[in-house]
């Protein structure tokens, strides 16, 4: 039996907008198993990114709790807590410091968490870069000297640096061209298998979700619309909102068109 | 009067910088016939947006660009026109829709004022009342139910989808012969994008507008265009009717592109061990083809 890696119990979060209070996430409960890839989908404003930030500890929930490996995380996370969850963002150009070399960006993570002996950190950075398919010499380069795909590989290497087993991927391939996207998705898949990683994969691209996720959670206006096995969500979505999302996805093949037509009929 | 709406012949473009010139387009030839919807498909950096901007005459006046080849719009070479003549074409006979509607509408003016400016390009003497009536009529064509509220709003007071529809209405209000759509809807949510593109498609059919559709999204291209050109590193590598190219892509690059697109019916994540040098192979020509050697 696989154990529960991450659990959210009735998590809510509101924000003040002027005089009003806006509920960004409303009573979300979900369990993610060890080694699972859970996709969180929804339109902009559905609460995907707020949920990611709650898991990362950027915000503390107003209500409910977040548990990692069976232990409830405190509202203010310790360094050890933070080491357990890492993030890969959409735009590697803005998530990597342009004034640091790639190696220095990764090294910061090793230094902060005190991983390995200081003398061994340079070689550790080299291994990390090689693990994500880049030559170790890239450590000397600045992010500006890399392509979009290479930068995203660096961002992934940095997320792996402190050996956390849970990675939040927030639209990790949305700013990339399709061929580069396929390469990055392949890398993420291989790393998950090799390191036994758990992914929380946030995206609005349902075709990507279909190919990477074990389960899908659909959000609308901060609330959970439905959750289920990826194959089931795509073949017989229970909720009209989910059907609408899938039916609006651009498609290139006849079998996809057939699926979309079938779902559109369901919407009526 | 049987000249195609747009005929680009051997367009070459380079940027001169401090460290020498960078060649961006290496001889692009493409044709958009009357009432035809043609896609130019490619990844970032392939030169598709530069091509679109050259068609609008926006690259010609830049000091750092070196441009050669012909761009014929309804049979007339843009290169032989004065800048003022090219400017007169924009917004009247040819118009453009951009990726991000919010940043392409001037935030300090209300939509009604922007609309009147667009209408005044083809009819300088248009009165405020006349302009408002035309704008109201064309907004209802893009399914905007409260045209008065929209005309009295600033762009940032409207949603992204609403702004995109306003852009479409503005682009079509002067009945252009050619609409250049550069990644329309990419900044929108998938459901809003779908609605917006369907609306745009219906309107260009009704108004018999020719469209040059710039996109990296193959799903959108498949649904909304008749013919496509695939551009890779400043060269056209493949051309043909959209359905035919999707069914049997000829060029290694087109095949790689199509294989890379994730599908909602699950196609797995392809391996790309193939030598990217193959992508630079000479172009494939599909039958029937509309351009010259």
Task: Tell me the three-class secondary structure of A58-125, residue by residue.
Answer: CCCCCEEEEEECCEECCCCCCHHHHHCEEEECCCHHHHCCCCCCHHHHHHHHHHHHCCCCHHHHHHHH
Cα–Cα distance for residue pair B226/B185, rounded to 1 Å: 19
Q: Strands, DSSP E only, in chain B? A: 6-17, 20-32, 37-41, 65-73, 76-77, 94-97, 178-182, 210-215, 227-232, 235-241, 284-285
What pTM did the predictor assign? 0.89
Q: Say if the Cβ atoms of B266 and A211 lie within 8 Å.
A: yes
The percentage of residues in chain A with a pLDDT greater than 70, rounded to a whole number, is 99
Q: Respond yes or no on whether the N-terminal peptide bond of residue B170 is cis (omega within 30° of 0).
A: no
Per-residue confidence (pLDDT) for residue B188, from 0 to 100:
83
- Structural element, H or E, at residue B50: helix B48-55
Tell me the nearest-neighbour CA distance from B218 into chain A, angstroms: 7
Residue B278, domain CATH? 3.40.50.300
Task: Look at residue B215 and tell me if it is in a domain.
Answer: no
Give chain A's domain count.
Answer: 1
- pLDDT tens-digit readout, A192-208: 999 999 999 999 899 99
The percentage of residues in chain B with a pLDDT greater than 70, rounded to a whole number, is 94
Task: Look at residue B33 and tell me if it is in a domain.
Answer: yes
Cα–Cα distance for residue pair A39/A32, rounded to 1 Å: 10
Q: Which residues of B touch A210 (CB under 8 A)?
A: 262-266
Name the band, by pLDDT with cuts 50, 70 and 90, for residue A106. Answer: very high
Per-residue confidence (pLDDT) for residue A1, from 0 to 100:
55
Per-residue confidence (pLDDT) for residue A242, from 0 to 100:
95
Task: Look at residue B272 and tell me if it is in a domain.
Answer: yes
- pLDDT tens-digit readout, B235-283: 999 999 999 999 999 999 999 999 999 999 998 888 776 566 677 777 7
Instruction: Nearest chain B residue to A148 by CA: give it.
Output: B44
Nearest to B41 by CA among B247, B199, B181: B181
B192, B195, B272 ranked by CB distance to A182: nearest: B272
Average pLDDT over all residues of chain A: 93
Task: Kindly tell me if the per-residue pLDDT of A126 is higher than 80.
Answer: yes
Q: Say if the Cβ atoms of B260 and A43 lie within 8 Å.
A: no
Per-residue confidence (pLDDT) for residue B285, from 0 to 100:
61
Give chain B's domain count.
Answer: 1
Residue range of the domain that includes A161: 4-267
Sheet arrangement for strand B178-182: B94-97, B178-182, B210-215, B37-41, B227-232, B235-241, B284-285
Per-residue confidence (pLDDT) for residue B43, from 0 to 100:
87
Q: Which residues of A touch B189 (CB under 8 A)?
A: 43-44, 204
Cα–Cα distance for residue pair B180/B211, rounded to 1 Å: 6
Task: Look at residue B168 and tell me if it is in a domain.
Answer: no
Name the band, by pLDDT with cuts 50, 70 and 90, for residue B189. Answer: confident
Residue range of the domain that includes B18: 1-90+226-293
Instruction: Nearest chain A residue to B216 by CA: give it.
Output: A177
Least confidently predicted of A247-256, B91-100, B114-123, B217-226:
B91-100
- pLDDT tens-digit readout, A173-190: 988 889 999 999 999 999
Task: Look at residue B152 and tell me if it is in a domain.
Answer: no
Task: Kindly tell me if the per-residue pLDDT of A44 is higher than 90.
Answer: no
Q: Say if the Cβ atoms of A148 and B262 lie within 8 Å.
A: no
Tell me the nearest-neighbour CA distance from A115 into chain B, angstroms: 33
Instruction: Nearest chain B residue to A235 by CA: give it.
Output: B265
Whether the complex's predicted ipTM surpasses the cut of 0.90 = no
Residue A153, domain CATH? 3.40.50.300
Cα–Cα distances in Å, from A67 out to A3, A11, A32, A41, A57? 12, 11, 10, 21, 11
**Is residue A138 within 8 Å of residue A146, measured between CB atoms?**
yes
Classify B17 in phi/psi space as left (phi over 0), alpha (psi -120 to 50) or beta: beta
Q: Most B CBs within 10 Å: which of A146, A182, A209, A239, as the mutation test of the B interface?
A: A182
Residue A165: partners with Cβ closer than 8 Å, 6 or more residues away: A5, A34, A84, A195, A196, A197, A198
């Amino acid at each position: 039996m696989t154990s529960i890696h991450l659990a959210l119990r009735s998590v809510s979060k509101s924000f003040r907008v002027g005089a009003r209070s806006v509920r960004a996430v409303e009573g979300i409960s979900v369990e993610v198993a060890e080694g699972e890839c859970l996709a969180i989908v929804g339109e902009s404003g559905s609460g995907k990114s707020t949920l990611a930030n709650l898991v990362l500890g950027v915000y503390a929930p107003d209500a409910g709790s977040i548990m990692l490996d069976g232990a409830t995380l405190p509202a203010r996370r310790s360094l050890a807590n933070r080491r357990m969850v890492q993030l890969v963002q959409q735009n590697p150009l803005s998530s990597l410091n342009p004034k640091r070399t790639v190696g220095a960006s990764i090294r910061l993570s090793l230094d902060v968490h005190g991983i390995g002996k200081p003398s061994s950190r340079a070689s550790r950075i080299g291994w990390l870069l090689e693990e994500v398919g880049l030559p170790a010499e890239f450590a000397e380069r600045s992010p500006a000297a890399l392509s979009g795909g290479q930068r995203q590989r660096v961002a992934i290497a940095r997320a792996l640096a402190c050996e956390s087993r849970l990675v939040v991927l927030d639209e990790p391939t949305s700013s990339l061209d399709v061929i580069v996207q396929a390469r990055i998705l392949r890398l993420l898949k291989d790393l998950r298998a090799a390191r036994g990683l758990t992914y929380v994969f946030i995206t609005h691209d349902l075709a990507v979700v279909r190919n990477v996720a074990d389960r899908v959670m659909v959000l609308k206006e901060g609330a959970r619309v439905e959750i289920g096995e990826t194959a089931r969500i795509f073949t017989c979505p229970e909720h009209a909102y989910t059907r609408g999302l899938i039916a609006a996805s651009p498609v290139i093949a006849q079998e996809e068109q057939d699926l979309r037509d079938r779902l559109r009929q369901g919407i009526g | 009067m049987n000249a195609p709406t747009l005929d680009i012949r051997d367009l070459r473009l380079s940027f001169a910088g401090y460290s020498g010139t960078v060649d961006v387009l290496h001889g692009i030839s493409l044709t958009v016939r009357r009432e035809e919807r043609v896609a130019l498909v490619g990844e970032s950096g392939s030169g598709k947006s530069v091509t679109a901007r050259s068609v609008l005459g926006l690259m010609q006046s830049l000091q750092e660009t070196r441009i050669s080849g012909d761009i014929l719009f309804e049979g007339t070479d843009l290169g032989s026109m004065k800048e003022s003549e090219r400017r007169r074409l924009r917004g009247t006979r040819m118009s453009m829709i951009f990726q991000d509607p919010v940043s392409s509408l001037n935030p300090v003016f209300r939509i009604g004022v922007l609309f009147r400016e667009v209408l005044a390009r083809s009819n300088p003497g248009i009165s405020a009342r006349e302009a408002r009536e035309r704008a109201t009529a064309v907004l209802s064509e893009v399914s905007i139910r409260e045209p008065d509220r929209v005309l009295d709003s600033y762009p940032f007071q409207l949603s992204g989808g609403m702004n995109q529809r306003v852009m479409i209405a503005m682009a079509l209000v002067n009945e252009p012969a050619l609409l250049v759509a550069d990644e329309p809807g990419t900044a929108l949510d998938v459901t809003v994008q779908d609605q917006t593109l369907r609306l745009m498609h219906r309107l260009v059919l009704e108004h018999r507008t020719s469209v040059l559709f710039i996109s990296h999204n193959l799903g959108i291209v498949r649904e909304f265009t008749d013919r496509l050109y695939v551009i890779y590193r400043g060269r056209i590598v493949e051309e043909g009717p959209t359905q035919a190219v999707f069914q049997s892509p000829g060029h290694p690059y087109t095949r790689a592109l199509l294989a890379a697109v994730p599908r909602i019916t699950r196609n797995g994540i392809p391996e790309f061990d193939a030598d990217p040098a193959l992508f630079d192979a000479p172009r494939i020509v599909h039958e029937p083809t509309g351009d010259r050697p």
